[in-house]
Structure formats: C-alpha cells, structure tokens
A and B are shown apart, each in its own frame.
Chain A
C-alpha cells in the first residue's frame, strides 16, 4: 500500500508540474526557444529575417561579352533585358550573422566572352546563414545562364537566350523572345508570353507554359511520366500507364518545344488554338 501511495503522489506531482509547465511556458515558446531536438536546416531562409546586408554593384559595357552566368542561393534573382548596351548587376549578400557576412562576397570572373557572378568566401566553405539577391539588367540578345537554389527567379521582358537551372526554386518568366531552357526540380515554373524555342525538364513541380504566336510555328514533343498534362494545343496524345506522350505542330513547326516532366503537372497553352495542326 505504501508504494502505491508514493507512486500516486509522484504521479500527481508530475501532473501538477506538467500542467504548470504547459501553462507557464506556452507551446509556441517551446517551438521558438527551447527545442529538445534542434534541427538547423540550412540553407535557412535568409532574406526575410536577414539583418545584415552587403550591396555591390557591377557595371560593364557589353563589348565582347556575349554570355552571362549568375549563380544564386537563398534569395531572388530578377532579370530583364534593356535597350542599353550596359550590363548591370546589383548583388546583395544577406545574412543573419554579421561576422559570417564579412567572409562572403559576390565574385566576378571573366573567361573569354563569358562573365560570371557567384558567392565566394566563407571560412568553412559551407553555405550557412548566407544568401544573395541579384537584380540583373542585360543588353538584348545576350546569352544568360542562371543557377538558383532555394529562392525565386523572376524574368521579365527578356530578349536573348535564357538557360535556367533551379532547385527548390519558383521560376517566373513574363515575356521572352529568343530561346529558353529550363532544368527544374522541386519548384513551380511559370512561363508566360514565350516566343521562341523551349526546352523544359522538370520533376516534382507544377509547370505552366503559355506560348505566343511566332513565325515558323512550333514543333511540340512532350513526355510526362507519373504526372498529368493539360493543354489547349491540340496535341496528338498517346496515353500509356504512368506515361503520357504528346506531339503536335503549330504552323510550320520550325521551333522545337521539348518538355520532359516527371511527378508533376504540366499545362501548355497557346494563344491560337485554331492554328494548331496535328
């Protein structure tokens, strides 16, 4: 009987402590301050809470430069074409840690006709608490290669050759004349008002593509594995288990539109349904 009373007493004591603990230290305090298991998932979202910034502006006359490479992470890349022959890059390195920020910079390197911007530095060489935002303005007709992880890429009124590699990133292109190649995983792709050849490879994403009328028309080659395809382009569709293949031509079928998607949803819209020839 004695041990039963002691056990009961201990249980009551622990219950009182438990209730007091839950009431005094609220649940959100646990989450915010006192993790019993603390995961640092990095690269963490730096931009919204970043307290420290380092801004650098690069400006060049296009001259012999024909290609631009921008590598970003944990931030936003804004790109647009301008009529000016000037190439302008505003790079903002952001961090929640001032000491960490000091060790990082955006590095500019030039090789032949290619100019490249990317984060460099860091004592450990490991990206942690660090991110970078870019605002890029390029002369029309340039070849631009963008690599982005964990963030966003926004392209507006672009004229030239665009090549985008994204992971865990949402990509939006609003208005493009030229060609676009996208390799994307784990992010949404929204390509609007595209006029030119297109190549899209994506996984685990939702992709919306809106193509504009173009001289020579388009030749569509679409393959969707374990996903769904929506279109108003009058494709000839071959549906197999877990696998959809679609073909079709718009106009003379000169410009290729190649889409390879797995575990995602692809929507293809054209602005002239009647112009499609199967």
Chain B
C-alpha cells in the first residue's frame, strides 16, 4: 500500500503544473467574460460560453493527459524504474488513472466554483426555478460521480491503446487511435452479449436518484442496467489486460 501511495504521489506531483495552468486558464476566461458582461460589452449569454469552453475542452485534455502520463515514462526512461519496482502492473496503471481522476476533480471544483463566484447573480432567475440548494448540490455531486466513472472508462481505453501501440512498435499513433476505437466497440458489444445474464437487475430509477419529481412531477427516467453491467465488467477486464501487458510484454524501447 505504501508503495502504491508513493506511486500515486509521484503521478499527482507530475500533474500539478498542467492542473494549475488549466485552473488558472479556466478562472481567467471566466473573469474576463464576467468583466465584459458587467461592462455591457458582451451579452449575458456569453456566460454560457465561459462555462462551455472548459466543460468541452477539459475531457479532451484529460484523455490526452492520460496518454501523456504513460508516454512521458518512455520519453524520460523512467519506465525501467517502474518495471523493476516491486509493485504489480495494475498498481502502476491504477495510480495513473487516479491521478487523472484527481486532476479532473480539481478542475471540476474550479469550474463549479468559478461559476458560483462569477456568474451566480446572473443565473439567479435560473436558481429560482430549481427546487433548492440541497437539490443542486446533490445533483451536482451525482453528475460529478457519473462523469468521473465515464472518464475512468475512457482513460482505461487510452491506457490499453498506448500499451498495444508500444507492443506493435510501428505507426504507434495510428495504432493507438485504432485500438481506442476497437476497445470502445468491444466493451459495448460485450455489454450487449452479456445483457441476458443481468436482466434480473432492476432498472435504476434515475428520476428518484436525481430527485426530478421535485422539479416536475411526471418526469420518469429509468436506466436499464443489464447491458451496462457487461460494459463495466469488460472495461475492468481491459484494465487488467493493460496491466498484464505492461508487466509482462511491453516493449521498453521505441
């Protein structure tokens, strides 16, 4: 456990600069838009852009970052050290995954905090249509957890794509992209194939989870989890496959 925590600390330490830089950029954009809106130069709708830019950009950045955290081990030859460390491959992969999720968490908090600080009074009429503060906090938390889980899945695909591209050794960029596409397709198909096994799992009442009845009665959203469970299992399987390949077969050179 101590070794794992050291690994995690190393990865978190490595991500502090991009994390700080992106946080600064996010706050900077929001502040700039807020000042322009306050001065009357831009319409209030520009606030949406200030929130949308980081919201759309950050997932792309984090996917690239998950690729980069592995790539940098090869570029700086620290992969040798990683492979001789007495830690299993899955712990190496997990620490990188958690560092990306931590980065996401910080940027999520910065984005939400920025919105509250800079735009809360502009959004006042919207707040008034929502049931209450606890409702907003609860749903924000659920959205955060859901996006965290989705991001984790995509990062696992990126890690696999990187490992396989290293094993193939040639046209690594193209191979990585293709493996990422195949991994996404593969887990969705596994989910469908395993779906009959999990039909006994009750549908998740999303409207209750998000307390949508407080917003508007009659709104019902149910999530059939049966196909999703196969997707989760397949994603977990790919995570272990990546770790296994890293530990046993990965090419250090190239």
Cβ-defined contact, B221 with A38, below 8 A: no
Q: Is residue B249 within 8 Å, beta carbon to beta carbon, of the partner chain? A: yes
Say which residue of A14, A36, A127, A128 sits within 8 Å of B188 (CB atoms): A36
* A18-B186 Cα distance, complex, nearest whole Å: 8
* Closest chain A residue to B121, Cβ basis: A242
Q: Is residue A111 within 8 Å, beta carbon to beta carbon, of the partner chain? A: no
Cβ-defined contact, B220 with A43, below 8 A: yes
Q: Is residue B76 within 8 Å, beta carbon to beta carbon, of the partner chain? A: no
Cβ-defined contact, A3 with B249, below 8 A: yes
Cβ-defined contact, A3 with B167, below 8 A: yes
Cβ-defined contact, B191 with A36, below 8 A: yes
Residues 144-196 of A contacting B (Cβ, < 8 Å): 149-150, 167-168, 185
Residues 38-52 of A contacting B (Cβ, < 8 Å): 38-43
Binds A, one of B19-27, B135-143, B222-230: B222-230
Binds B, one of A4-12, A134-142, A265-273: A4-12
Which size bracket describes the interface of B in this complex?
A: 35 or more
Cβ-defined contact, B185 with A21, below 8 A: yes
Cβ-defined contact, A11 with B231, below 8 A: no
Q: Which residues of B contact A35 (CB under 8 A)?
A: 224, 227
Q: Which residues of A contact B117 (CB under 8 A)?
A: none
Cβ-defined contact, A37 with B178, below 8 A: no
Question: Given A7-B164, A226-B44 in contact, is the A128-B220 Cβ separation under 8 Å?
Answer: yes
Cβ-defined contact, A203 with B227, below 8 A: no
Q: Which residues of A contact B230 (CB under 8 A)?
A: 36
- Report B159-191 CB contacts with A as 1/0, cut-off 8 Å: 000001001110000010011011001101101
Cβ-defined contact, B185 with A262, below 8 A: no
Q: Is residue B86 within 8 Å, beta carbon to beta carbon, of the partner chain? A: no
Count, chain A residues at interface, CB 8 A: 35
Minimum distance in angstroms from B213 CB to a CB of chain A: 10
Q: Is residue B110 within 8 Å, beta carbon to beta carbon, of the partner chain? A: no
Q: Is residue B122 within 8 Å, beta carbon to beta carbon, of the partner chain? A: yes
Cβ-defined contact, B179 with A37, below 8 A: no
Question: Given A36-B188, A40-B203, A242-B44 in contact, is the A149-B218 Cβ separation under 8 Å?
Answer: yes
Most chain A CB neighbours (cut-off 10 Å) among B40, B219, B221: B219
* A251-B218 Cα distance, complex, nearest whole Å: 43
Q: Is residue A63 within 8 Å, beta carbon to beta carbon, of the partner chain? A: no
* A127-B212 Cα distance, complex, nearest whole Å: 14
* A41-B206 Cα distance, complex, nearest whole Å: 9
Q: Is residue B133 within 8 Å, beta carbon to beta carbon, of the partner chain? A: no
- Report A251-266 CB contacts with B as 1/0, cut-off 8 Å: 0000000000011000
* A36-B153 Cα distance, complex, nearest whole Å: 15
Cβ-defined contact, B182 with A37, below 8 A: no
Minimum distance in angstroms from B49 CB to a CB of chain A: 15
Q: Which residues of B contact A43 (CB under 8 A)?
A: 218-220
* Closest chain B residue to A128, Cβ basis: B220
Say which residue of B164, B178, B206, B216 sits within 8 Å of A167 (CB atoms): B216
Q: Is residue B129 within 8 Å, beta carbon to beta carbon, of the partner chain? A: yes
Q: Which residues of A contact B122 (CB under 8 A)?
A: 226, 242
* Closest chain A residue to B250, Cβ basis: A3
- Report A26-38 CB contacts with B as 1/0, cut-off 8 Å: 0000000011111
Q: Which residues of A contact B129 (CB under 8 A)?
A: 185, 203, 262
* A263-B45 Cα distance, complex, nearest whole Å: 10
* A203-B127 Cα distance, complex, nearest whole Å: 12
Cβ-defined contact, B126 with A263, below 8 A: yes
Cβ-defined contact, B167 with A7, below 8 A: yes
* Closest chain B residue to A73, Cβ basis: B218
Say which residue of A3, A127, A241 sits within 8 Å of B220 (CB atoms): A127
Q: Which residues of B contact A229 (CB under 8 A)?
A: none
Cβ-defined contact, B216 with A36, below 8 A: no
Cβ-defined contact, B216 with A4, below 8 A: no
Minimum distance in angstroms from A173 CB to a CB of chain B: 22
Cβ-defined contact, A241 with B231, below 8 A: no
* Closest chain A residue to B251, Cβ basis: A4
Question: Given A37-B228, A225-B125, A242-B44 in contact, is the A14-B182 Cβ separation under 8 Å?
Answer: yes
Q: Which residues of B contact A150 (CB under 8 A)?
A: 218
Question: Given A4-B169, A35-B227, A42-B222, 6 other A-B contacts at CB below 8 A?
Answer: A3-B167, A34-B192, A40-B220, A42-B219, A185-B129, A226-B125
| Chain A to chain B contacts (Cβ below 8 Å), 26 pairs | A7-B164, A11-B168, A18-B181, A21-B185, A35-B224, A36-B230, A36-B231, A37-B223, A39-B206, A39-B221, A39-B223, A40-B221, A40-B222, A40-B223, A41-B220, A43-B218, A127-B218, A127-B220, A128-B220, A150-B218, A168-B216, A185-B216, A203-B129, A226-B44, A241-B38, A263-B126
The 10 closest A-B pairs by CB, nearest first: A42-B220, A38-B224, A40-B222, A262-B125, A36-B188, A36-B191, A3-B249, A242-B44, A36-B227, A225-B125
